[in-house]
Structure 1
């Protein structure tokens, strides 16, 4: 059950829900920054989130298991409630994501840094997913405004961490 996610015991149910919902909001913010979330953005986002259910950092595996459960249903539900105007939608999403800062501040700094790094990584991979040649130079101007999640306060680790590039290697794609 999501209330038993290791490291989240100091948070209320509403705060945990906000963190679990963040990847859907980030996917919409970046993936639909240019209007709609396309097929490639959906595919890459889902692959990245699924790899995080069993990859590094291990402390967040259960968190990402909860995130991927009915992920696209959550995305669609959010899209249905958000403004249809792209600028208004992005502003609303930015405001909601900004509210994660005090929640992240309640967590152990390394856990919060892992979440922050994961959120930014998700935004970057979603932005790279469509366009460009072999996903190189594929971040559009409108996506680049949001890809670093400027509404979130950067959080740095206190412990040494391995390079997260090992977390998701697109070259390992089996060609599906």
Structure 2
């Protein structure tokens, strides 16, 4: 990764690798069900995201199906609890992203926003209208993650 994650602890690096899958699951589960079409869309979106951090996205694309399947099984037992756990995990990014170069943090955050919108629009609606549910609309802007564009330089 050319030192992008050099200042991160192992648990923070792990979070960075799990984050795209967590975002996909959070958005997909917002309406009370995790649709396989949304999961396929998320995996495809991540595998095609080569605009920055190419080695990272290659590894995330390999890990993502495993992470999503494990979390999806947990979600079938208690979706509300799974969504709460995911939100708590994603909040941890607020202490991780400031450790990255500001431009890298901004690119990553923008990628996460694009991913959430892709997943939300992947399923639902009638004849292509109203594809994003009210529940998804509440979270696609990822309110639990601070926008790094507003971080104060050290």
Separation in 1 of the partners of 2:34 and 2:97? 27
The question of whether the paired residues in 1 share the 8 Å contact of 2:93 and 2:145 is answered with: yes
1:97 aligns with 2:90: yes
Q: Which residue of structure 2 aligns with residue 26 of structure 1?
A: 23
Query: Which residues in structure 2 correspond to 1:144-155 (within 5 Å)?
Result: 144-155=137-148
1:38 aligns with 2:35: yes
Unaligned runs of 5+ in 2: none
Separation in 1 of the partners of 2:124 and 2:142? 20
Unaligned runs of 5+ in 1: 159-176
Q: Deviations over 1:14-56 (max 9, x none)?
A: 111001101111111101222332132122212211111x3x2
Could you tell me the TM-score, scaled by structure 2's length? Answer: 0.86
Separation in 1 of the partners of 2:150 and 2:47? 23
Moved over 6 A (4+): none
How far has the Cα of 1:80 moved from its partner?
Answer: 3.4
The question of whether the paired residues in 1 share the 8 Å contact of 2:98 and 2:148 is answered with: no
Residue-pair matches, total: 151
Could you tell me the TM-score, scaled by structure 1's length? Answer: 0.77
After superposition, the Cα gap between the structure-2 partners of 1:71 and 1:93, relative to the gap in structure 1 and judged at 3 Å, is: same
Structure having the larger proportion of residues in helix:
2
The question of whether the paired residues in 2 share the 8 Å contact of 1:45 and 1:122 is answered with: yes
The question of whether the paired residues in 2 share the 8 Å contact of 1:33 and 1:86 is answered with: no
Query: Which residues in structure 2 correspond to 1:20-169 (within 5 Å)?
Result: 20-52=17-49, 54=50, 56=51, 58=52, 60-81=53-74, 84-132=77-125, 135-156=128-149
